[in-house]
Amino acid sequence: MRMFAVRFWPFMVAMSLAACQQASAPQPGQPAMETPATIEVFDYFAGKRTVSPDWAKINSQPVGSQGNPVRVYLPPGEYAYLARLVCADGTKPTYFRVGNYGFGPYTTIIDGFEVTCSGTKTMIFADMYHPSHVERRVPAGFTLSGGR
């Protein structure tokens, strides 16, 4: 056991730090501070592929905007994310898909959703081609309920 601990402690420390970093979520309304050099996206024609987004441009946009859509995986991921949204007054919003809005900053097609809280309508954009990403960011005026 000592040999295992001595050999693998750097790896275990690195994994622990990565887990802590992933678990932290930005405050509601804060800009996305995504910075990995590359990310993996799903492409129906090419399968999984690696892209290098313009993080400076993306991070300058509000979370949930066309320039900084929430990242989810496939339509069930879009609806699961929307189901976790909580309005500022603590109620659950209503929402529906308006349509697709062309290519977003991750080189994949984004969808727009009209989200309503107490009569106030907001457009939230989602990019559903991120198979290994769990979105923890929230648009201004919203929080996320528990769950995944």
Taking only the tens place, the pLDDT of each residue in 36-47 is 789 999 988 888
The pLDDT tens digits of the residues spanning 64-81 come to 999 999 999 999 999 999
Q: Which one, of 124, 111, 128, lies nearest residue 74 by Cα?
A: 128
Q: What is the CA angle 44-69-113, rounded to 5?
A: 90
In a domain, 14, yes or no: no
Q: pTM for the whole thing?
A: 0.76
Considering its fold, how many domains does the chain have in total? Answer: 1
Please answer whether residues 104 and 125 qualify as being in contact, where contact means their C-beta atoms are separated by less than 8 angstroms.
yes
In a domain, 106, yes or no: yes
DSSP single-letter state for residue 60: T
What's the CA gap between 135 and 124, in Å, rounded?
14
In a domain, 80, yes or no: yes
**In this structure, what token pair is assigned to residue 20?**
């802590």
Range of lowest pLDDT (51-60, 120-129, 139-148): 139-148
Is 84's pLDDT higher than 70? yes
In a domain, 119, yes or no: yes
In a domain, 20, yes or no: no
Per the structure, the complete domain to which residue 72 belongs is given by: 27-144
In a domain, 16, yes or no: no
In a domain, 120, yes or no: yes
**In this structure, what token pair is assigned to residue 126?**
């989602």
Rg (CA), the chain: 17
In a domain, 1, yes or no: no
